[in-house]
Amino acid sequence: MFLTEATVIDHLEIASGYYRMILETPKISCQAYPGQFIHTRISDQYDPLLRRPFSIHRIDRKRGRIEILYRVVGKGTHLLTKARPGYKLDVFGPLGNGFKVDRYLKTAIIIAGGIGVAPLLTLGEELVKRGVSTRVFIGAKTRGLILCENEFKELGCEVRVSTEDGSSGYFGTVTDMFRDFLLSNEDISGSSPSLFACGPYSMFREVALLTRRFNIYCQVSLEERMACGVGVCLGCAVRVKGGVYKRVCKDGPVFSAEEVAWNDNSQAYC
Amino acid sequence: MITPKLTVNISGIKMRNPVMVASGTFGYGEGYENLVPLDKLGAIVTKGITMDERSGNPSPRICETPSGMLNAIGLQNVGLKNFINERLPYLRQFDVPVIVNICGESVDEYVELSKRLSEVSGIAGLEVNISCPNVQRGGMIFGKDPDLTYEVVSKVRKSTHLPLIVKLTPNVGDITCIANSARLAGCDAISLINTLTAMAIDIHTRKPKLATITGGLSGPAIKPVAIRMVWEVAKAINLPIIGQGGIMDAQDALEFIIVGASAVSVGTGNFVNPMATLEIIDGIRRYMIEHRIDEIDQLIGSVKV
């Protein structure tokens, strides 16, 4: 992990309320792998006080860059939208345990709900690089908020999109779309796929149930309010089976879906 | 140019400088190991240790507030046995005083904790936590009542030879009254302040932002309260004080020292700037050079009122 200054190279609103920021930070880009995050100070003032965690969206080791993709949800992210190219951001990372990709993996499924696509694009790039056949399911509220469809297509992934208002692709949630897919491809577990998901809590719960039923190994990237980012403050607790808590920042943010006690966690957490 | 002397001695705990890390903000010394060499710090205070392992409170456990944060971790910790067997060996490797924060649900538990920790090597002192606002039994219940404070501190005193620090809660009417009880009971130093009991609401759901409804406020927002309390206690009793509450930089630390703190602890500041402690040590040194102060003792309690 490094505590370093990253230079904003580019910062663009790619959909209403959704921003992509390219950061130059050679040390972090060199060490990072899919599923990890950076912990960023928004300003040198004390309000907002705490750092904000952002999934690493893309890693460009050659140019020493990383990208983050974020949705404006509050004071911190709102302030961050003002950062112009050239601005130096105080960044701490890469942090956390990311996705585990088995070296013999042949097929993968990616499920992204809303801004949950953030950590999954760099994972998709990694999977394709390793020759893993990757299917991608992207869900959003409406057509204009479908993120990264083209990026995944350019990688050569098979991409399906859903919208909750039916304005594009499948009419329904991404889990509805995925369930339909599974029901018409019941032999899917024969290829021993791995599934990687990130999205809202309700999506995680559904995906966890479906993957158990269809015997698919599933990893989820969780989100929690965080303070330290390194496992010392115990603020970002998630309840796992056995009645204990794990730290999203240090033990995760990626967990096996089997490990998480889905019924015991507050719906409010994301 | 003078070389200022930053060493302090808190009732037998010899520190190379007055900058410590506060309980619950540095784990068991392992989180920031790549950034903060532990042997550069004045002392480390561990996460609060209880007899049995505790899993802590439900989520959400934290939320941000203007220039502060609320927490309700609920003393999640590995428990006494695991601490001694698995965490203390790591801490022993470093040349830094280790102060163990202890919290019991009853007086007997505080006594048992202090006895057991006095039998092992590598511990420089104990910090008796009678101020945690986020547990249902023990913690702040003791620290809000001068008689209970006296009872727990005097019994712990009899059970250990280690330097005894008592950590006080600001959630009281008269902090000097509690501090005096702790002094009469035989403690060696006072640590203050713990967090202020506080609450925040999400207006869209109309629900509290913490699962436990209330939590403890920390960060720059509470610094003026902490400064006032350190000043009051420093005037009232003659014991070393470890000041804490919203310290982010050297100016903050110096304020505490000037009103009477012999040492300071950085807590929430570590989360915002992991290098805060090292920058504060450096900043205090520069201040002393600039103001031609040879020894930190000359600054402690030097407030002009």
Q: Is residue B231 part of a domain?
A: yes
Q: In this structure, are A112 and A78 located in the same domain?
A: no
Q: Which of B103, B132, B177, B187 is catalytic?
A: B132
Instruction: Say whether both A16 and A136 belong to one domain.
Output: no
Pick the residue from chain A with its C-alpha nearest to B53: A244
Calculate the average pLDDT of chain B.
Answer: 95
Q: Do B268 and A269 touch (CB under 8 A)?
A: no
Task: Identify the CATH number of the domain in which residue A191 sits.
Answer: 3.40.50.80
Q: Is residue B210 part of a domain?
A: no
Tally the domains of chain B: 1
Kindly determine whether residue A237 and residue B67, on different chains, have CB atoms separated by under 8 Å: no
Burial class (CB in 10 A: 0-12, 13-18, 19+), A244: middle
Does residue B84 form part of some domain? yes
- CB spacing of B59 vs A41 below 8 angstroms: no
Q: Tell whether A135 and A243 lie within a shared domain.
A: yes
Instruction: Look at B220 and A266 and tell me if their CB atoms are within 8 Å.
Output: no
Select the residue of A235, A264, A265 nearest B62 (Cβ to Cβ): A235
CA atoms within 13 A on the CB side of B233: 38
Q: pLDDT tens, B56-82?
A: 999 999 999 999 999 999 999 999 999
Pick among A228, A244, A262 to test the B interface (most B CBs inside 10 A): A228
Residue B91 maps to a domain = yes
Inside any domain, residue A100: no
Whether residue B169 lies inside any domain: the answer is yes
- Residue in A3, A50, A92 closest to B64 by CB: A50
Minimum CA–CA partner of B72 in chain A: A235
Q: Is residue A183 part of a domain?
A: yes
pLDDT tens readout for residues B210-247 = 999 999 999 999 999 999 999 999 999 999 999 999 99
> What pLDDT shows up at residue B33?
81
A175 and A254 together in one domain: yes
Is residue B258 assigned to a domain?
yes
Q: Is B248 in CB contact (< 8 Å) with chain A?
A: yes
For residue A246, the chain B residue with the least C-alpha distance is B55
Task: Quote the domain boundaries for residue B42.
Answer: 8-58+75-200+218-298
Q: Annotated catalytic, B63?
A: no
Does residue A127 form part of some domain?
yes
pLDDT at B31 over 80: yes
> In this complex, which of B30, B207, B219 lies closest to A49 when CB atoms are compared?
B219
Residue A101 falls inside a structural domain = no
**Average pLDDT score over residue span B139-154:** 91
Q: Give B209-253 as a DSSP string.
A: SSTTSEEEEESGGGHHHHHHHHHHHHHH--S-EEEESS--SHHHH
Query: Residue B123 has which token pair?
Result: 């511990």
> What's the pLDDT at A243?
86
Interface contact A225-B272, CB threshold 8 A: no
pLDDT at B131 over 90: no
Q: How many domains does chain A have?
A: 2
Of A225, A233, A268, the CB nearest to B207: A268
Q: Scanning every residue of chain B, which has its alpha carbon at the shortest distance from the alpha carbon of A90?
A: B273
Average pLDDT over residues B41-66: 96
Reading chain A (270 residues) residue by residue, the pLDDT tens digits are 999 999 999 999 999 999 999 999 999 999 999 999 999 999 999 999 999 999 999 999 999 999 999 999 999 999 999 999 999 999 999 999 999 999 999 999 999 999 999 999 999 999 999 999 999 999 999 999 999 999 999 999 999 999 999 999 999 999 999 999 999 987 787 888 999 999 999 999 999 999 999 999 999 999 999 999 999 999 999 999 988 999 999 999 999 999 999 987 654 443
Are A11 and A75 found together in one domain? yes
Selected for mutation to probe chain B from A43, A233, A247, A264 (highest B CB count within 10 Å) is A233
pLDDT of residue A270: 36
**For residue A167, what pLDDT is reported?**
96
Mean pLDDT, range B159-169, rounded to an integer: 97
Verify that A170 and A44 share a domain, yes or no.
Answer: no
Q: Is B121 on the interface with A (CB under 8 A)?
A: no
> What's the CATH number where A30 sits?
2.40.30.10
Question: Domain check: are A132 and A16 in the same one?
Answer: no
Percent of chain B with pLDDT over 70: 100
Q: Which residues of chain B lie closer than 8 angstroms to A1, CB-CB?
A: 34-35
Q: Which of A46, A90, A92 to mutate to test the interface with B (most CBs of B within 10 A)?
A: A46
| Structural domain that includes position A11 | 2-95
The reply to whether A262 and A175 lie within a common domain is yes
Crossing angle for the helix pair B276-290 and B250-259, to the nearest 10 degrees: 60
Q: Tens digit of pLDDT for each residue in A24-80? A: 999 999 999 999 999 999 999 999 999 999 999 999 999 999 999 999 999 999 999
Chain centroid to CA A84: how far?
A: 24
Choose from B21, B209, B272 for mutation: most chain A CBs within 10 A.
B272
Cβ contact, residue pair B272, A231, below 8 Å: no
- On whether residue A221 sits in a domain, the answer given is yes
Confidence of residue B140 (pLDDT cuts 50, 70, 90): confident
pLDDT at B149 over 70: yes
Q: Decide if A102 is inside a domain.
A: no
- In this prediction, residue B34 has a pLDDT band, given cuts at 50, 70 and 90, of confident
Q: Look at residue B304 and tell me if it is in a domain.
A: no
CATH code of B47's domain: 3.20.20.70
B213: in domain? no
Count of CB pairs separated by less than 8 Å, A with B: 111
Q: Is the pLDDT of residue B289 over 60?
A: yes
Q: Which of A1, A231, A266 sits opposite B59 (nearest CB)?
A: A266
Are both A147 and A198 inside the same structural domain? yes
Q: Tell me: do A136 and A248 sit in the same domain.
A: yes
Residues A210 and A244 placed together within one structural domain of the fold: yes
A257 in the same domain as A135: yes
